[in-house]
Amino acid sequence: MQTFVETGLKPEILQALESIGFEKPTPIQAKAIPHLINSDKDLLAYAQTGTGKTAAFSLPLIHGIDEKSDDINAIILCPTRELCLQIERDIQTFIKYIPALKAMAVYGGESIDRQIKGLRSKPNIIVGTPGRVCDLIRRKRLQLGNINYLVLDEADEMLTMGFKDELDQILSACPSERQTLCFSATMPRELLRIANEYMDSPDEITAGQRNVSAENVKHVYLVADRSDKYEVLKRVADINPNIYAIVFCRTRMGTKEVADRLMADKYAADALHGDLSQAQRDYVMNKFRKKQIQILVATDVAARGIDVNDLTHVINYELPDQLEAYIHRSGRTGRAGKEGMAVSLITRRDLSRISQLERKIGKKISKKKIPTGQEICQRQLFSMVDKFVATDVNDDINEYLPMIEEKMEALSKEELIKKFVSSEFNRFLSYYKNSQDLNTKDRSKKTRGGKYSRFHINVGKKQGLDPKGIIGILNDTRNLRNIEVGQIDIMNNFSFFEVPNDREQDVIPALDGARYKSQQIEIELAKPKPSSSSSSNYDRPRKARFNKSKSGGGSGGSSRGRGRFSKGASGKSSGKSRSSRFSY
């Protein structure tokens, strides 16, 4: 199939597609549109993010809907309001020459009364998030008893976000004879469960391989110490003068912290997370689309529905919990035939996950060195010179040339070049002067013992503690959040962990009152780990005990902080002002 004309769509739809420059369908559109026009069977479709899934399901829906009906004919469910609004905007474009058809978006974060009023205009197509759709059904304001089409877009993500109960309620409100269409970029077990529960022997179509990354995306990773992660992020940005990227963090807190630090360091950055109001989110996204923001820091949920086609990079500041989410993230770049790069910033403890990701996406993820200060300065300098050479000359400057030449007549060509470069580049050179090579091998092993302090706490394996639990306890403590952690040893009834010597005095006061599960933590400064690896040879801690609890008792106590493994942004801030230029 070469053109949309061959799909069999109505002339009015073809006219709308022509008006926006759509001529040839993408692979998923070429397969899905004719199938849905000619069949009423349920459909399970797989295609990567950015391949045109919205048009693949919405165009045949528009084609098949009865324009004279006052009922809601189709409902499209998606995980986030951003994606909901994007789909609704696309549908409005597709139906511009079919005035009898109406589409409406319903989602949280917007006045429900306003949406109830909108439903009175009897839209034919509803695009909604599960929570708001359920709320409208419970209020008896949204009637789905006569729908012909139910679309689950990003169904796997809706399950990951915990919308299974809402999906059950919505499905029970729909007629059994509907046609159910499920579109997804990945095929986890949860998606197969959806097919079994909600669909009737669906046909399957696939555009490209399942659970693999887009072809135009190059995947790399950089290994850094936890304390250097933020500095590495800045270096990735600085080695790419024209960066236009989304940086992914796991938590809202981490997203806000990384974005705040970037903005404080004079980067054109901002954050997108669940704590923002809809107006704030729209404001940030509008700036990002206009490239007034070059680096958008976001959580996976908040980034759903971002319809930007020319991202140069996707940066995983933290790897996602679910491997499928990596595919969604990396699919944000390398769109519309352009090349993109997915960069993961990992610690040594994350190395095992790289091989898992490689198997998942069916591609090699290459290890790259962290750029040095010298490499960054060279790249930035040449980029600046290229822009200078390519600058168009404004003839209005001619009248000032005699005065300019008079002021500069004492300078040689070499001196002019040096002064020009220095005026534009001095701050950048100053920032990276004598900068540390973050690629030094085994930096933590070389410093451990001589530059780390070791602490003992009265919680161990029997109380369910693991290394993540210790990091969580520290991250949940304001003054220790994102502190570098050295070796961790978990014993049956007690544990040891290391922090840099220069933070030794912060640990005991900061953990004053901390709890693990139901009991206060008792912490002591321990002697350095002995050379023997036998657990029976651990030296007893030096006396520095506080918060003694009669209920806890020595090494057998069971206590836990807030039970939450909270990872915020990691790394140290230079505190220095720097240029807002970018390069990699």
pLDDT digits (tens, 9 = 90+) for 62-80: 999 988 888 899 999 998 8
Mean pLDDT along residues 440-466 = 71
Mean pLDDT along residues 208-230 = 78
pLDDT of 136 over the 90 cut: yes
pLDDT of 580 over the 80 cut: no
Residue 139's pLDDT is: 94
Residue span(s) of the chain under CATH 3.30.70.330 come to: 443-556
pLDDT of 227 over the 90 cut: no
Angstrom distance (rounded) from CA 299 to CA 248: 6
Mean pLDDT along residues 45-70 = 86
Burial-class residue 557 by CB neighbours within 10 Å (0-12, 13-18, 19+).
buried
Q: What is the mean pLDDT of the chain?
A: 81
Token pair for 313: 């990079």
**Contacts for 187-196: CB closer than 8 Å, 24+ residues apart:** 187/46, 187/156, 187/211, 188/156, 188/322, 188/324, 190/156, 190/159, 190/160, 191/44, 191/155, 191/156, 191/159, 193/159, 194/152, 194/155, 194/159, 194/167, 195/44
Lowest mean pLDDT among 46-60, 291-305, 413-427, 482-496: 413-427
Mean pLDDT along residues 403-416 = 86
Helix, strand or coil, per DSSP, at residue 16: helix
Lowest mean pLDDT among 277-281, 329-333, 540-544: 540-544
Q: How confident is the model at residue 425 (pLDDT cuts 50, 70, 90)?
A: confident
CATH class in words for 217-372:
alpha beta
pLDDT digits (tens, 9 = 90+) for 244-275: 999 999 888 889 999 999 999 999 999 998 78
Angstrom distance (rounded) from CA 264 to CA 259: 9
Mean pLDDT along residues 24-30 = 88
Q: How do beta strands 179-184 and 43-46 pair? A: parallel
Q: Which residues of 159-172 are buried (b: 16+ CB within 10 A; e: fewer)?
A: bbbebbebbeebbe
Residue owning tokens 């909270």: 566
The pTM score is: 0.57
- H or E element, residue 37: helix 27-38
pLDDT of 562 over the 60 cut: no
Phi, psi dihedral angles at 269 (to 5 degrees): -135, 165
Token pair for 238: 């600085």
The residues near 123 (Cβ < 8 Å, ≥ 6 apart) are 72, 102, 103, 104
Q: How confident is the model at residue 208 (pLDDT cuts 50, 70, 90)?
A: low
Q: What share of the chain is helix, strand, coil (3-state, %, to 5)?
A: 40, 15, 45
Looking at CATH, the fold of the domain delimited by 443-556 is given as: Alpha-Beta Plaits (3.30.70)
Shortest CA distance to 125 belongs to which of 141, 106, 111, 107? 106
Shortest CA distance to 316 belongs to which of 389, 365, 382, 383? 365
Top pLDDT among 440 and 350 is at 350
pLDDT digits (tens, 9 = 90+) for 234-249: 999 999 989 999 999 9
Shortest CA distance to 518 belongs to which of 577, 563, 478? 563
CATH class in words for 4-206:
alpha beta
Phi, psi dihedral angles at 447 (to 5 degrees): -90, -20
Residue span(s) of the chain under CATH 3.40.50.300 come to: 4-206, 217-372
Mean pLDDT along residues 121-141 = 94
Give the CA count within 13 Å in the CB-facing half-sphere of 146.
Answer: 13
pLDDT digits (tens, 9 = 90+) for 461-477: 888 888 878 888 887 77
Token pair for 531: 């050379």
pLDDT of 574 over the 70 cut: no
Residue 324's pLDDT is: 75
Residue 271's pLDDT is: 94
Q: How confident is the model at residue 374 (pLDDT cuts 50, 70, 90)?
A: confident
